[in-house]
Amino acid sequence: MTEESRHQVLPEDFIPSLAGGSRASRRYAAQMLGISEPGQLGPFLLEAMERGTVPVRRAVSETLGRLHGASLPGLPGAGAEEAADLSSIPYLDCLLMGVRDPDETTRVNSAGSLASLRESREAVEALALALSDPSAPVRAAAARSLGRHWPSPEVRPPVSALVQALGDAEPEVRKAAAGALEYMRAPEARTPLIGLLEDGSREVRIRAALSLGALGAPEAVPLLIEVLRSGGLPSSSPALYLCRMRAQEALPELKAALKRFDPYGPQRTVAREIAKFGASVAVPALCEALEYGGDRKFRIDAIEVLEELGDRSAVPALARALG
C-alpha cells in the first residue's frame, strides 16, 4: 500500500472523533475509517501506530488514552445507547510503540495516554525509561503520568527515578516530577524537594512545597502560606497541608480564607480541616465566618464541624445559621 493510499485509509482528522463528540460523530468517524465491526478497531489502531504517517500516529497516540476505560455508544458493536466493548484494543502494545516513536509529539501523547493503564507494570517501566528521553516535553509527560499511577493497588511507580528527575535541567520536568511526588508521599524525596524550595522557577518552588506539605515537612510552611495568601490556584492543597501540620503561623491566612467566598478557593477545605487546631481555634473562626455568609455548601460544612466539636459557645451562631 502506498503512502498516499494509506493516508486515505487512515485520515488523521477522523481518529480523534472515535473518542469524542456525539454518537453520530463517532459512528461517522468509524465509517470513514472503514471500521464496521467491533473486532476491527484494535487491529486498525495497531496498524496505524506501526505504519501510519506522523499525523496519524500523533492522532492515535492521543486518542488511545481517551478510549481506555471509556463508555462510548455509537462505535461499531454498540447500539444507539449501548457502549461498545473496547477491551480488546491493544492499548499497551500501541502506546509502548508510541513512547519509542521517532516523532516527539507522538512520544509526548503516548506518555500521557499511558497514565490510563493504571494496573500495568509494563506501562510504569516504559514511563520510567521515558524520564531519560532527550526531549523535555516527553520527560515531563512521563513524570506527570507516573504521578497519576499512584495510588495503584498493583504497581508502585519508581520513586527513585522521579527523585532523579527533580534535578533535571528543564524547569518543566522538575515541576512535573515534584507534582507527581506530591501524591506518593515518599520520605526519600524530602531532601531533594527541600532543595527545590530555592529553585529559580516559582512554579517549581510551589510544586516542591506542595509535595513537602503532603509529607508534613515544616520547611514548606512559608511558601504554602504565600500561595494561600495569593488566592491563586492551587490554594486548597496548601490550606489542607497547613491545617494538617497545625502550622500556627498560618492561622491568620487560614482564618482570612474562611471569609473569601471564591467557589474555587480553599474556604470549604479550611472549614473541614481547621478543627485540627482544636476547638479553641476552630469554633470562633467558624462562627465568625458564618456571620459573613458564604454559599450553601460552605455553610453545611461549617455547621457540621461545629456540631461535631460540641462546644456550647457555638450555639448562638448555629441558631442564626440554621434559622
Confidence of residue 2 (pLDDT cuts 50, 70, 90): very low
State the average pLDDT for the chain: 88
**Mean pLDDT value across residues 248-258:** 95
Q: pLDDT above 70 covers what percent of the chain?
A: 90
Residue 176 CA to residue 207 CA, distance in Å, equals 8
pTM of the model: 0.86
Total residue length of the chain: 323
Residue 106 CA to residue 223 CA, distance in Å, equals 36
Helix (H, G, I), strand (E, B) or coil at 173: helix
Per residue in 118-131, pLDDT (tens digit) is 888 999 999 999 99
Per residue in 214-237, pLDDT (tens digit) is 999 999 999 999 999 887 656 789
Contact between 295 and 263 under an 8 Å Cβ cutoff? The reply is: yes
| Confidence check: pLDDT of 8 > 70 | no
| Confidence check: pLDDT of 64 > 60 | yes
Confidence of residue 75 (pLDDT cuts 50, 70, 90): confident
DSSP secondary structure string, 251-276? HHHHHHHTT---TTSSHHHHHHHGGG
- Which is more confidently placed, 101 or 5? 101
Q: What pLDDT score was predicted for residue 109?
A: 97
The answer to whether the peptide bond before residue 192 is cis (omega within 30 degrees of 0) is no
Per residue in 153-202, pLDDT (tens digit) is 677 778 999 999 999 999 999 999 999 999 888 899 999 999 999 999 99
Per residue in 282-292, pLDDT (tens digit) is 999 999 998 87
Per residue in 23-35, pLDDT (tens digit) is 888 888 888 888 8
